[in-house]
Amino acid sequence: MKIILLGPPGAGKGTQAVNLAQKLKLAHISTGDLLRQNVSGGTDLGKQAKSYMEKGALVPDDLVTQMLQRRIQAQDVKKGFILDGYPRNIAQAKALDAMLKQENAAIDFAVYLEASEPVIIQRLTGRLVCKNCGANFHRKNMPPRVEMMCDKCGGTLYQRTDDNEATIKTRLEVYRKEVSALLQYYEAKRQLHRLNADEDADAVLNEIIRLAAKA
Ligand code: AMP
């Protein structure tokens, strides 16, 4: 099973992806997480990506696509994946299709998580992320049981440097510029399902699991 999660920053793609991967026994691939690992590891890719990420701009397609291609070939991805944060534009959507076609595969469906702007801002400015397992928490909506410690793995929580109001604005602008073409792309292939992501995370999760069972 290969599922894509689309939606603005703050729609809950990360939260849904972590839970879905666990429930459906699929690999969770987050291009944002992979890039952040490269930045903190000081790799060449990380050095090239850092300035784009700090501004909230997209990292160039070829860098992200090569990174994803390597990740998709790993053994744990053979059983399928939940893709979170890719594709961000049509060029990436086409690159993904081409990548999968080489293995006679294709995505099963894409989910578009729609969220309203006040909800997005509130979620992102309070978001806390586990350094170790990538699980998301929220200072108010979903505080960890122990302050700044992950409930799932005991890792340390941190606030992403791009989760500040100015960078969030840029990320939303970048997202808005690309989203309609991306939605049309998957709609034309009859692979798109739209869900209201302002709703409670468990309701959204159950709906995606229902879609996966039908796919
Ligand atoms: P995310 O964790 O998905 O919010 O991504 C954080 C940042 O990583 C984005 O603001 C971009 O700078 C970069 N990024 C993540 N995924 C992609 C992608 N598919 N294409 C280009 N840049 C990306």
Mean pLDDT in order along the chain per 10 residues (215 residues): 97 93 96 95 97 96 97 94 97 97 95 94 94 90 96 96 94 95 97 94 96 94
DSSP run (H or E) holding 121: helix 117-125
* Of 91, 21, 103, 33, nearest in space to 61 by CA: 91
Q: Whose CA is nearest to atom 19 of ligand 1?
A: 86
Q: pLDDT for 121-134, tens place per residue?
A: 999 999 999 998 88
Q: Which CATH class is domain 2-115+176-214?
A: alpha beta
Tell me the three state secondary structure of residue 90.
helix
Residue ranges per structural domain of the chain: 2-115+176-214
Pairing of strands 109-114, 81-84: unpaired
CB 155 within 8 A of CB 132: yes
Instruction: Determine the pLDDT at residue 135.
Output: 86
Q: Whose CA is nearest to atom 8 of ligand 1?
A: 32
Hunting for tokens 């690159």 — which residue is that?
A: 95
**DSSP code of residue 185:** H
Query: Which residues share a beta bridge with 146?
Result: 149
Cα–ligand 1 centroid distance for 58 (angstroms)? 6
CB 159 within 8 A of CB 128: yes
**For ligand 1, is residue 35 a contact (CB within 6 Å)?**
yes
**98, two tokens:** 């081409």
Q: pLDDT for 145-194, tens place per residue?
A: 999 999 999 999 999 999 999 999 999 999 999 999 999 999 999 999 99
Cα–ligand 1 centroid distance for 5 (angstroms)? 13
Instruction: Determine the pLDDT at residue 199.
Output: 86
Instruction: Determine the pLDDT at residue 75.
Output: 93
